[in-house]
Amino acid sequence: MSTLEFVSASADGIVANAAPLVTAPALVAGLGAHPALTVPLVCGRPTGTAEIWRRLDEAARFFGAEIRPVSALHDALHGFLAEAAARHGQVTVAAQIQLIEVDGQNEFVVAGTVIDATRPEPVALAAQRGPLQDRTPHWRRMAARTSSRAEARLVEQDLNARGYADVVTVDGALIGNPGLGALIVETADGKTGLGADVLTLLQAAGLLDAAVPCTDLPLALSGAKRVWWVSPRFETHPVRVIGTHHFESEVPGHE
- pLDDT per residue as tens digits for the range 186-222: 998 899 999 999 999 999 999 999 999 999 999 988 8
- Is residue 252 a part of any domain in this protein? no
- Is residue 42 a part of any domain in this protein? yes
Question: Both 81 and 141 in a single domain?
Answer: no
Question: Both 57 and 131 in a single domain?
Answer: no
CATH of the domain at 239: 3.20.10.10
**Is the pLDDT score of 3 beyond 80?**
no
| Domain final residue pick, 94, 115, 136 | 115
DSSP state of 162: T
Percent of the chain with pLDDT over 70: 77
Question: Both 108 and 170 in a single domain?
Answer: no
- Is residue 25 a part of any domain in this protein? yes
For residue 87, the surrounding DSSP H or E stretch is helix 70-88
Q: Which domain holds residue 163?
A: 123-246
Question: Both 216 and 111 in a single domain?
Answer: no
CB atoms within 10 A of CB 98: 21
d(C-alpha 126, C-alpha 19), whole Å: 42
Question: Both 216 and 168 in a single domain?
Answer: yes
Question: Both 25 and 110 in a single domain?
Answer: yes
| Domain final residue pick, 86, 115, 144 | 115
Cα dihedral sign for 99, 34, 168, 250?
positive
Cα dihedral sign for 198, 110, 93, 96?
negative
- Is residue 179 a part of any domain in this protein? yes
Question: Both 128 and 242 in a single domain?
Answer: yes
Q: How many domains does the chain have?
A: 2
CATH of the domain at 97: 3.30.470.10
**Is the pLDDT score of 13 beyond 90?**
no
**Is the pLDDT score of 241 beyond 70?**
yes
Q: How confident is the model at residue 171 (pLDDT cuts 50, 70, 90)?
A: confident
